[in-house]
Amino acid sequence: MPANYARFLTGKHRTVAANRQLGFALAFVAGSLNAGGFLAVQQYTSHVTGMVSAMADNLALGNLRLVWDGLAGVVSFLLGAMGCALLVNYARRHRLSSEFALPLMLEAVLILCFGLLGPWLSHFEGILVPFTVVLLCFIMGLQNAVVTKLSNNVIRTTHLTGTVTDLGIELGKLLYWNRLPDAPEPVRADRDRLKVLLGLLASYALGGVVGAYGFKHLGYASTVPLALLLALVAIVPTWDDLRSYRPH
């Protein structure tokens, strides 16, 4: 990947085009991890809403162990978002170029750990499931926070509820018939936003298909290319900071 393009994608100076292209890539990664992770442990890890609902159901049914498992996933997602905020604010305070690259580099390392440790942990089912759920929830929280911060709350990549809702709103505007073309405020769809929302939906869905087929045929090793992809887009701003570092 050319260095200037990597700086364009993950550098601290943001543009609308960079946010969208990085958002599509991260949506693909999230879809792939969520689908592949389900095949690994039969649990989705990208949406907290489902976890909280499952906790409520299990509490009503008396499955307290599953309640604690769900709570661990929610807390892990929360800690991932907190970790992103700590890294981003540290980079801002020290005026680093890797403001958004640092969380993505951490995500790449954690995905690599999942891919490399998974085959070994699969021999210990009692450890595999809680470790995988906690790790993937942390990764999802980390990723969702970084793309939220760099896009100023415009783009989400780890779940599609908001994306599909916004897509439905824009499609409703698109289909609305303005019978009075000279009305002071005619209903108009934001076609540019429509393209972004469709791109996020398609990227996540494609990532899910690739992740599911990849895990089915390659197992945990299928996540290694995802880690390498994130490392490639994040390494240039990180390397720029390392080169310019001057110890006091």
- Residue ranges of the domains in the chain? 3-240
Task: Write down the pTM of the prediction.
Answer: 0.90
Distances (CA, A) of 223 to 42, 215, 239: 17, 8, 24
Burial class (CB in 10 A: 0-12, 13-18, 19+), 247: exposed
**pLDDT at residue number 56:** 94
**pLDDT at residue number 1:** 59
**pLDDT at residue number 119:** 81
Rg, C-alpha atoms of the chain: 20
For residues 88 and 114, what is the distance between their CA atoms, to the nearest angstrom? 24
Q: What is the three-class DSSP state of 5?
A: helix
Closest CA to 133 of 105, 114, 149, 153: 114
Please check whether residue 150 is in contact with residue 14, taking contact to mean a CB–CB distance below 8 angstroms: yes
Closest CA to 51 of 39, 36, 68: 68
Per residue of the chain (248 residues), give pLDDT as tens. 578 888 888 888 888 999 999 999 999 999 999 998 888 878 888 888 888 998 999 999 998 888 998 899 999 999 999 999 999 999 989 888 888 999 999 999 999 998 888 888 777 777 777 888 889 999 999 999 998 888 887 888 888 888 899 999 999 988 888 777 676 788 788 889 999 999 999 999 999 999 999 999 998 899 999 999 999 989 998 888 887 766 55
